[in-house]
């Protein structure tokens, strides 16, 4: 989830396989973060009975986002094979790739367009590898963080449907981000990203958002590009992440996506689904691939942080883990360095 503005001025080309590997262009910055426990998913789920404005009881699933990973290597490898297996589609109608330029907002957020529903309703979104939910404001949300943003009118879409419990009541989800919170009404609808059409994508319609930080942000919604939690069946059934829907529907020749984060303030960012976009590769350098070391996040093992020519030796010859979070403007690590 996007945080406060911080001009990191990094020239970073990040390639993320939809299901197992991460690549970065070398030479620019060696980073290593001990990611804070508040980052994303210590999945503590509750069904909450909270009265709404009409006095009815709502069904909630609570998602708290903190970092987790498995330390058992044999079990980890098996989990990776089970949940993040890369395939190359042989489907003739699958696309080679789609690419979208991203608005550069002070080198802190990179914002693109996505269309939801039939007929389509367009939203400005952040593509966030640090979360998994697809979130846009609902027309029912009129106060707090929703007030200044475009809202989705589900009644105007002939392809929208709600996710319902067995008793036909709506399903709601509470999400606590690193900063901010949302209450979502779960549904599904068709989504368009350039030439890519994703049918029946799970969508969380925000019926309530905290004033901070959402009211101050220059985008409407968040498209989570993280994984669903394999320990939690609710997410697979009612809130499947976009990347898993794309894979399930065989929409791309290769299940891969890549980010380009520019160094210059006046340069656009980019996201490409279907390939690592060589247009942004550093001349004379090859892409290096690093295994993802978590089944929950885009997390890699790194050696150290280098600040200009100085190696900070934060890892002390031990493995450090870093989560690659495109929805955050912060580089977070230990509060003390040598």
What one-character-per-residue DSSP string does 275-302 give? S--GGGSPTT---EEEE---SSSSEEEE
Is residue 128 part of the annotated active site? The answer reads yes
Contact residues for 61 (Cβ-Cβ < 8 A; gap 6+)? 45, 46, 47, 171, 172, 173, 174, 234
Whether cis (ω within 30° of 0) applies to the bond prior to 34 is no
Q: What one-character-per-residue DSSP string does 185-222 give?
A: EEEEEEEEETTEEEEEEEEEEEEEE-HHHHTT-S-SEE
Exactly one of 101, 128, 229, 231 is catalytic; which is it? 128
Rounded distance between C-alpha atoms, residue 296 and residue 229, angstroms: 6
User: What SS3 state is found at 338?
Assistant: coil
By the 10 Å C-beta count (0-12 exposed, 13-18 middle, 19+ buried), 32 is classed as buried
Question: How distant is the alpha carbon of residue 331 from its chain centre?
Answer: 17
Catalytic residue among 190, 220, 229, 325: 325
Catalytic residues: 128, 325
């Amino acid at each position: 989830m996007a945080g406060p503005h911080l001009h990191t001025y990094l020239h970073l080309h990040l390639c993320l396989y939809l299901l197992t590997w991460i690549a970065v262009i070398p030479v620019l910055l060696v980073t290593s973060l001990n990611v804070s426990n508040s980052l994303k998913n210590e999945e503590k789920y509750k069904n909450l009975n909270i009265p709404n404005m009409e006095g009815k009881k709502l069904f909630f699933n609570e998602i708290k986002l903190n970092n987790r990973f498995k330390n058992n290597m044999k079990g980890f490898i098996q989990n990776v094979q089970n949940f993040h297996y890369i395939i190359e589609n042989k489907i003739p109608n699958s696309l080679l790739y789609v690419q979208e330029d991203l608005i550069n907002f002070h080198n802190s957020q990179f914002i693109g367009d996505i269309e939801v529903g039939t007929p389509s309703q367009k939203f400005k979104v952040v593509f966030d590898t640090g979360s998994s939910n697809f979130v846009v404001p609902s027309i029912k949300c009129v106060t707090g963080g929703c007030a200044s943003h475009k809202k989705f009118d589900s009644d105007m879409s002939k392809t929208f449907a709600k996710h319902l419990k067995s008793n036909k009541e709506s399903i709601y989800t509470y999400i606590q981000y690193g900063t901010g919170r949302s209450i979502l009404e779960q549904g599904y609808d068709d989504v368009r990203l350039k030439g890519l059409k994703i049918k029946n994508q799970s969508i969380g319609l925000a019926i309530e958002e905290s004033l901070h930080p959402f009211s101050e942000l220059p985008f409407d919604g968040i498209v989570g590009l993280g994984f669903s939690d394999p320990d939690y069946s609710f997410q697979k059934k009612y809130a499947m992440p976009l990347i898993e829907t794309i894979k399930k529907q065989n929409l791309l020749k290769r299940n891969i996506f890549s980010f380009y984060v520019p160094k210059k303030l006046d340069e656009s960012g980019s996201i490409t689904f279907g390939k690592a976009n060589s247009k942004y590769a550093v001349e004379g350098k090859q892409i290096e691939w690093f295994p993802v070391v978590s089944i929950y996040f885009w997390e890699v093992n790194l050696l150290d942080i280098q600040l200009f020519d100085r190696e900070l030796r934060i890892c002390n010859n031990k493995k450090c883990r870093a989560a690659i979070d495109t929805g955050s403007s912060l580089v977070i690590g230990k509060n003390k360095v040598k």
